[in-house]
Every structure is written in C-alpha cells, then in structure tokens.
C-alpha cells in the first residue's frame, strides 16, 4: 500500500468487558542476594503448592464475584499495512493486572512484603486470563533471547502480567476517499472462555464512556 504523507492510519483498541500491560524492566533487586533468593523462592513455592493453589480455578470463584482484569496496551511498531488484504501488522506490549487472594503475601505464614518480579514462565503455574485477539489472522509472542514476558507479584496479591506480541489483524478499510482517507482499525481483545459473570476487563486508566484514555500509548512514536 502506498502511503503518501497525507494519509494517516489510526488504530482503535477495543476492549470487550465480557469475554474481552508495556515493557518489562530490570529484575527486582530482591533477587540479587542468594539468601533472599532462597527465602522468596520458598515463599513462592509455598503459595503455589498444588494442595492449596489450583491454576485452573480463577480467583474469587468461591465468592461468586467476577475477577476484574485491568488492561493497557503500548504500541511499539506498526510494521505493515495492506489495503489489498485489508489487514495490518502491529507490535505491542500487553499489560494485564488482577488480584488473586491466594497469592496475598500478607496472609501467608511465610509472607513477603516486597514486589517480586519474575520470568513470564511463571504464567504456566498460576491462573492468568485467557485473553486473545478477536480479529487476528496470526499472532505470536516474541521469544528472543527468551520469551518476552514477565510476572510481578505484589504483597497484597495483585499480579501484573506483561507480554510482547506481534499480530496481523484484519481491518475493514474504506478507500473511497483515497488518497485523502483516514482509517480506524480495531484491535479487539476478549476472553476465550469466561463470560461476564466470571471475568470483566477494564482499561487500566479508563475515562468515562469506556474510553481507554492513557491505557493505550505509543502511537505518537509510530511513523508510517
């Protein structure tokens, strides 16, 4: 697709609250001391004991309340736009955060009072939202040099889960005003299996009427 200077492309990120984030940082300083490694490693293993923690069961299921997942998106690259295929390719980091009372360090005998930042592979051992991109043709999580993800545990049981994703997404473009056209392309996020009664997505910095506000960033740095 030829993109003259007067053509602009706008991505609208859509978050479905029914079934519907950012760059990782340096590792927590609490993992640099061998004694602390042992202590907090033991804390994590204790909390994730299969006899008390089941990763297939969502948080708060015993209360009947849905789990609220706060979402933010940081766009790092708009790699390809195709008017012929009606699609675009975007790279972004997806932040998801929620509270899991089973990981509340203040309620554990071997509790913790620091923020623990760990490799994203911990996501295989705890419950995480089954978020997917509704209008994606293909997607992948970056894995060089390791899987580009992290999990951060907070003492009160809050969990932050970050992934770096590239996705080729469908976009119904209206080109009747070309080359003076502007396109609004959606990136729709949704849960694969949970209904509203179990899981509700919210923008991390939501404005009124459901607008994402500061929850979608990075587009100012994208050059077409």
- 167-209 pLDDT tens trace: 999 988 877 777 776 777 888 899 999 999 999 999 887 655 4
Task: State the pLDDT confidence band at 13, using cuts at 50, 70 and 90.
Answer: low
Mean pLDDT of 90-103: 94
Any idea where the domains of the chain sit in the sequence?
A: 8-221
Q: What is the pLDDT of residue 83?
A: 82
| Structure confidence by residue, pLDDT tens digits, 53-81 | 899 999 999 999 999 999 999 999 888 88
Q: What is the pLDDT of residue 41?
A: 73
**SS3 state of residue 177:** coil
Mean pLDDT of 45-52: 82
Task: State the pLDDT confidence band at 8, using cuts at 50, 70 and 90.
Answer: very low
Q: What is the pLDDT of residue 223?
A: 52
Distances, alpha carbon 78 to alpha carbons 56, 70, 74, 120, 212, in Å = 35, 24, 11, 24, 19
Give the residue among 72, 16, 56, 61 at the shortest CA–CA distance from 201: 16
Enter the pTM of the model.
Answer: 0.78
Q: Tell me how far apart the alpha carbons of residues 107 and 125 are, in angstroms, rounded to a whole number.
A: 20
Q: What is the pLDDT of residue 14?
A: 65
Q: What is the pLDDT of residue 23?
A: 41
Task: State the pLDDT confidence band at 25, using cuts at 50, 70 and 90.
Answer: very low
Give the residue among 59, 51, 47 at the shortest CA–CA distance from 96: 59
Percent of the chain with pLDDT over 70: 73
Q: CATH top-level class for 8-221?
A: mainly beta
Give the residue among 103, 77, 94 at the shortest CA–CA distance from 129: 94
Mean pLDDT of 157-172: 94
Distances, alpha carbon 173 to alpha carbons 4, 77, 90, in Å = 16, 20, 16
As a whole number, the mean pLDDT across the chain is 78
Q: What is the pLDDT of residue 119?
A: 85
Give the residue among 50, 48, 89, 92 at the shortest CA–CA distance from 217: 92
Q: Tell me how far apart the alpha carbons of residues 137 and 135 are, in angstroms, rounded to a whole number.
A: 7
Task: State the pLDDT confidence band at 39, using cuts at 50, 70 and 90.
Answer: low
Q: What is the pLDDT of residue 172?
A: 84
More confident residue, 17 or 194: 194
């Amino acid at each position: 697709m030829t993109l003259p200077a007067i053509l602009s492309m706008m991505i609208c990120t859509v978050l479905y609250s029914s079934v519907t984030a950012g760059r990782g940082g340096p590792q927590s300083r609490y993992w640099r001391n061998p004694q602390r490694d042992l202590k907090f490693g033991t804390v994590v293993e204790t909390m994730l004991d299969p006899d008390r923690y089941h990763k297939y069961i969502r948080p708060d299921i015993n209360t009947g309340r849905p789990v609220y997942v706060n979402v933010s998106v940081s766009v790092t690259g708009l790699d390809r736009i195709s008017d012929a295929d009606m699609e675009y390719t975007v790279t972004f980091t997806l932040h998801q955060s929620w509270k899991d009372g089973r990981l509340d360090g203040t309620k554990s005998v071997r509790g913790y009072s620091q923020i623990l930042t760990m490799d994203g592979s911990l996501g295989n051992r705890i419950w995480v939202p089954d978020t997917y991109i509704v209008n994606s043709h293909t997607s992948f999580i970056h894995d060089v040099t390791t899987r580009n993800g992290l999990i951060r545990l907070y003492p009160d049981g809050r969990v932050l889960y970050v992934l770096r994703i590239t996705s080729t997404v469908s976009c119904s473009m209206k080109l009747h005003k070309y080359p003076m056209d502007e396109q609004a392309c959606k990136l729709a996020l949704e849960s694969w299996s949970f209904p509203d009664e179990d899981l509700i997505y919210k923008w991390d910095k939501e404005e009124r009427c459901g607008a994402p506000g500061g929850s979608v960033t990075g587009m100012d740095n994208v050059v077409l």
